Amino acid sequence: MVFPLLDRDSELVALQRAADRAAAGQGGVVVVAGGPGAGKSRLLDEARALSHRAGLQVLSARGVELEHEHPYGIVRQLFEAALLGPEQAPWLVGPAAAASTVFTPETEQEAAPFATLGGLRWLTANAAAEGPLALLVDDLHWADPPSLHFLHYLVRRLDGLAVLLVLGGRPGAADELGEAATSILRPAPLGPDAVVQLTRELLETRPSERFAASCRRATGGNPLLLVELLRALRAEGVVPDDAHVDVIDHIGPSAVARIVLVRLRHLPGDALPVAHAIAVLGTGVVTSLVAELAELEEAAVVEAVASLVEADVIDARPPLGFVHPIVRDAVYREVAPDGRDRSHARAAELLRARAAAPDQVGAHLLLAAPRGLRWAVDTLRAAADDAARRGAVETAVTFLRRALAERPTDADVELLLRVGLTEAAVDPGAAVAHLDAARRAARDPGSRARVGELVARLLVFTDPPAAIAAARQARAELPAGGSPASLLALERYAGRFSGIAAAPDPAPEPGSAGGRTLMAVQAWDRALNGGSAEECVALAAGALRLDEPAATQEVVDRTPLLTAMIASTVLLFADDPRAQGFWDAWHAEAVRAGRAQAIIAGHVWQGWTQLRLGRLADAEASLRAALEGPRAWGPGTKSPPAHALSLLAEVLLHRGDLPGARTALDRIPKEVSPDTEGVLLCRCAELRLRTTEGRYAEALGIVDVTGARLRTVVNPAWARWRSVHAEALAQLGREEEAIAAASEELELARRWGTPGPVGRALSLLGVLEDRLDLLEEAVETTRDPFARLEHAGALLALGGAVRRRRRPSAARAILRDAHDLAVACGADVVARTARDELAAAGGRPRPVAGLGAPSLTPSERRVAELAASGRGNQDIARQLHVSPKTVEVHLTTSYRKLGIRTRRELASALGEPVASEG
């Protein structure tokens, strides 16, 4: 029975507006959030109808409690009919092909989860390219986790797609998605008039005022409770007048469960057991299955179902199911837990006998206690395999853990390994525990060593001491002739990373992959320990084999994340221009293979490069993208990496955003060991923040507390703190100590040898000692693309010193350069100080040219740069995870800002900021 929609005027307006916008090509997200029975599904029904009327093609899906582990269940509900039906919609072409495994997991391989997400977005884009699209998903709180990840991914990347997403669910799940929504609708309780109207509909008599008010009080205006209450009253034949108000009060403000159960108990004989069986089976219910589970004749089941339909408990329309999920829930919970356990175990058996899909059988096994059954282990593993081949890692993990529980005493090495390796992507902590159990259970030392190395790799960043222990043990078990290089590399890296005494330092071993990891670690080790940029670059380039002709692609394919990250980081802070080329190729490969962790590392790396090149707006965008977290990047990306947070804080300090820097530093996860390199970088950023805020004494306090560990940081290109410390000391009048600290940094910077840090230390020392020669040297030293920020700072310092020597016209020229460069970099703090200095010198900044490369937004610049490198629009769209239309828009705007007409002019237009007039 459908009742007229009551009290939802504003919601309908919002939905209509969103549908019209989508029909006009502009997508949006509407989230409908509310508690049980608040009227969410009803609003989604309305959304469906008005989307149809607005000319959208509508695809819909809903979460079902028992299908929580159906891999990509929601996504398949949305698209499967169109893709695999008779029409075979051609939506899996181009980059969308990466998602085909979701629908047909035919390969033997596991799908890469992040590539799958990207592919699914393209599938959505392809579908919307045929005409504006509405995707409706209800009951998000039961959606399977991989599909939920896709929705989170999609709502952040709807830009340029004619797709309306309407998502309904209970507050927790819905609100999380609501963060990125265009609007959130929260259906309110029904008002007095609506209650009167609904009562009249259901009881076919106009209720008395008191009767209606009493109904409203008993249900709080919750539509579902009202409907159920009225159904119960109708079943009892109650007349809605003042004389019968006490009947409602007698039922009281009870929940649906009680009302439904009261109704159920009035039904004849087999209705109750049949309702129970249907509730346990949940989905895909057929009469014969219900009969077997309830141990009844089929004829009896048919009869019972008829009475349940009559009583508005079971839906009249097939397939067999309840009128409302809450009614199912009430019936389900009425069975005692051990009864439910037995029923699910039996349901699993029955479904298996009928050759049902492994995940369908598995769904029931998940709800039943382990019984030590071989077939159950096999079924759960089959369900996990299927999930993994569809790219649904979290689902695979759930099934595998349950498989493990089925045989708790049997140390099955192979199963433990499988669980651990699958978990590595989503729950590294649990992965380590399972892999370690597998290692202990393994018989031959060779396997133990191999698994030990996996454990060490997983622990390198999160628990360096444990990583060292694991690597040492694996080294001890290494069979004769096996190379210890990669284990030694892990040991040394973890040691250096956490400030623990490192492993022996063997000779470089360029041949093997392990040997190359070792070279990368040695490069890093030297770089942080007082080596020169030159010698470290040689080692890092060897690790990446950059000198071998035309080997890039092969190197990229075969360089593990750790080696690539370490070696290219060294190249980066040694200002080696080859770093960019290597990283671009490596990043493209990571995108192709869909390795989220690697893509995130790429963003961090990119952000750092941009910071060093003095492109602060771009740097901020890259780092924020990296830090967006698991909702944007999929499972397994948990706490934000500390070094990325410190870089972001650094960028924001340059930009004058102190509160932003504070927020970034406050996000450092508490569980990370305070001695790790990443946290140490954050301490340096903290020191800088306090100094910038003028809290000098507190800044010195940080050095006092962390001093010993800070003093081990000797490379100012990696992390500078001595000069900041010097600034704070100077502000507190401790000039001599300040000069000593700045001089020490200068010496260390010279030892490393790149221009930026040398120039920065020179500037500071020049200011502290008020020496023009040092300031001039700083300006000369920093004429380098990797030292633009330092150059702006040096010009500012020099200009100020010249002004104070009463040479205002010379000072003005220098300060204008400082100002323009700072503006081009987006370094607002230097720009502002330069303006003040200029004013003091009796001048004004040159009018800033509004256009030119610096005026591009970060996204425009990224698109323009890719176009300049010869990429096509489709290709760019794929790499940046945006639509081709977005790419076009960005390019058009960029051409206009750059004052060019063709793609060929892009490269030179992007090269340098357009000169402003003097």
Ligand X SMILES: Nc1ncnc2c1ncn2[C@@H]1O[C@H](COP(=O)(O)OP(=O)(O)OP(=O)(O)O)[C@@H](O)[C@H]1O
Binders in 227-286 for ligand X, by CB under 6 A: 227
Q: Could you tell me the CA-to-CA distances from 660 to 472, 656, 666 in Å, in that order?
A: 42, 9, 10
Contact status, residue 19 vs residue 51, Cβ threshold 8 Å: yes
CB of 39 to ligand X, least distance (A): 3
Helix 677-693, helix 658-666: angle, nearest 10: 150
Closest CB to ligand X among 138 and 677? 138
Of 33-41, 574-582, 660-668, 742-750: span binding ligand X (CB under 6 A): 33-41
Contact status, residue 222 vs residue 37, Cβ threshold 8 Å: yes
Instruction: Give me 408's structure tokens.
Output: 């708790």
Closest CB to ligand X among 198 and 396? 198
227 binds, among ligand X, Mg ion, none (CB under 5 to 8 A by kind): ligand X
For 322, phi then psi, to 5°, come to -80, 160
CB of 166 to Mg ion, least distance (A): 13
Instruction: Give me 623's structure tokens.
Output: 């780092």
Binding residue count for Mg ion, defined by CB under 5 A:
2
Residues in contact with 889: Cβ distance below 8 Å, sequence separation at least 6, in sequence order: 160
Q: Judged by CB under 5 A, which of 16, 41, 532, 597 binds Mg ion?
A: 41
Closest CB to ligand X among 134 and 161? 134
Binders in 305-324 for ligand X, by CB under 6 A: 324
370 binds, among Mg ion, ligand X, none (CB under 5 to 8 A by kind): none
| 3 interacts with ligand X by CB under 6 A | yes
Contact status, residue 72 vs residue 392, Cβ threshold 8 Å: yes
**Chain-centre distance for alpha carbon 87:** 35
| 325 interacts with ligand X by CB under 6 A | yes
CB of 138 to ligand X, least distance (A): 7
Of 219-227, 373-381, 480-488, 855-863: span binding ligand X (CB under 6 A): 219-227
Closest CB to ligand X among 119 and 223? 223
Element (H, E) at 133: strand 133-138
Residue given tokens 């920065």 in the structure block: 760
Element (H, E) at 111: none
Q: Judged by CB under 6 A, which of 30, 31, 40, 301 binds ligand X?
A: 40
**Chain-centre distance for alpha carbon 619:** 19
Write the Ramachandran bin of 715: left for phi over 0, alpha for psi from -120 to 50, otherwise beta.
beta
Closest CB to ligand X among 181 and 327? 327
Of 40-48, 265-273, 701-709, 763-771: span binding ligand X (CB under 6 A): 40-48
Write the Ramachandran bin of 318: left for phi over 0, alpha for psi from -120 to 50, otherwise beta.
beta
Q: What b-and-e string marks burial along 86-98, b requiring 16 or more CB atoms within 10 Å of the CB?
A: eeeeebbeebbeb
| 36 interacts with ligand X by CB under 6 A | yes
Binders in 137-176 for ligand X, by CB under 6 A: 139
* Bridge partners, 169 (sequence order): 33
Residues in contact with 284: Cβ distance below 8 Å, sequence separation at least 6, in sequence order: 319, 356, 360
Instruction: Give me 874's structure tokens.
Output: 């489709």
Closest CB to Mg ion among 39 and 113? 39
Closest CB to ligand X among 227 and 700? 227
For 168, phi then psi, to 5°, come to -115, 145
Q: Judged by CB under 6 A, which of 38, 260, 567, 726 binds ligand X?
A: 38
Residue given tokens 């996504």 in the structure block: 75
Binders in 189-218 for ligand X, by CB under 6 A: 198
Instruction: Give me 807's structure tokens.
Output: 């040479």
Closest CB to ligand X among 139 and 777? 139
What does the angle CA 373 – CA 379 – CA 380 come to, to the nearest 5 degrees? 90
223 binds, among Mg ion, ligand X, none (CB under 5 to 8 A by kind): ligand X
Whole-number Å distance between alpha carbons of 39 and 189: 9
What does the angle CA 603 – CA 608 – CA 611 come to, to the nearest 5 degrees? 125
Closest CB to Mg ion among 40 and 595? 40
| 731 interacts with Mg ion by CB under 5 A | no
Binders in 416-475 for ligand X, by CB under 6 A: none
Binding residue count for ligand X, defined by CB under 6 A:
21
- State the residue number with the nearest CB to ligand X: 39
DSSP state of 244: G
Q: Judged by CB under 6 A, which of 19, 26, 42, 545 binds ligand X?
A: 42
Closest CB to ligand X among 175 and 875? 175
| 62 interacts with ligand X by CB under 6 A | no
Whole-number Å distance between alpha carbons of 534 and 877: 38
Closest CB to ligand X among 47 and 403? 47
Closest CB to ligand X among 7 and 292? 7
Closest CB to Mg ion among 228 and 292? 228
**Chain-centre distance for alpha carbon 382:** 28
**Chain-centre distance for alpha carbon 466:** 27
- State the residue number with the nearest CB to Mg ion: 41
- Residue among 89, 107, 85 nearest 98 (CA): 107
Map residues 112-141 to x or -, x wherever contact with ligand X holds by CB under 6 A: ---------------------------x--
Helix (H, G, I), strand (E, B), or coil: what is residue 30?
strand
Q: Judged by CB under 6 A, which of 16, 41, 254, 580 binds ligand X?
A: 41
| 845 interacts with ligand X by CB under 6 A | no
Residue given tokens 């699910």 in the structure block: 344
| 103 interacts with ligand X by CB under 6 A | no
Closest CB to ligand X among 27 and 39? 39
| 184 interacts with ligand X by CB under 6 A | no
Closest CB to ligand X among 173 and 679? 173
| 5 interacts with ligand X by CB under 6 A | yes
DSSP state of 78: H
- Residue among 829, 825, 573 nearest 716 (CA): 573
Residue given tokens 């200095």 in the structure block: 837
Contact status, residue 9 vs residue 41, Cβ threshold 8 Å: no
CB of 46 to ligand X, least distance (A): 9
| 126 interacts with Mg ion by CB under 5 A | no
Contact status, residue 137 vs residue 163, Cβ threshold 8 Å: no
Of 38-46, 332-340, 470-478, 528-536: span binding Mg ion (CB under 5 A): 38-46
Closest CB to ligand X among 36 and 629? 36
Closest CB to ligand X among 324 and 615? 324
CB of 36 to ligand X, least distance (A): 4
Whole-number Å distance between alpha carbons of 701 and 706: 9
Q: Judged by CB under 6 A, which of 31, 117, 133, 224 binds ligand X?
A: 224
| 857 interacts with Mg ion by CB under 5 A | no
| 326 interacts with ligand X by CB under 6 A | yes
Q: Judged by CB under 6 A, which of 19, 27, 33, 37 binds ligand X?
A: 37
CB of 194 to ligand X, least distance (A): 6
- The 3 state secondary structure assigned to 670-739 is CCCCCCCHHHHHHHHHHHHHHHHHCCHHHHHHHHHHHHHHHHCCCCCCCCCCHHHHHHHHHHCCCHHHHH
Of 34-42, 118-126, 481-489, 609-617: span binding ligand X (CB under 6 A): 34-42
What does the angle CA 159 – CA 390 – CA 428 come to, to the nearest 5 degrees? 90
User: Which parts of 216-265 are beta strand (E)?
Assistant: none
Of 223-231, 334-342, 352-360, 723-731: span binding ligand X (CB under 6 A): 223-231
Map residues 6-25 to x or -, x wherever contact with ligand X holds by CB under 6 A: xxx-----------------
Residues found near ligand X in the complex (CB under 6 A): 3, 5-8, 34, 36-42, 139, 198, 223-224, 227, 324-326
Residues found near Mg ion in the complex (CB under 5 A): 40-41
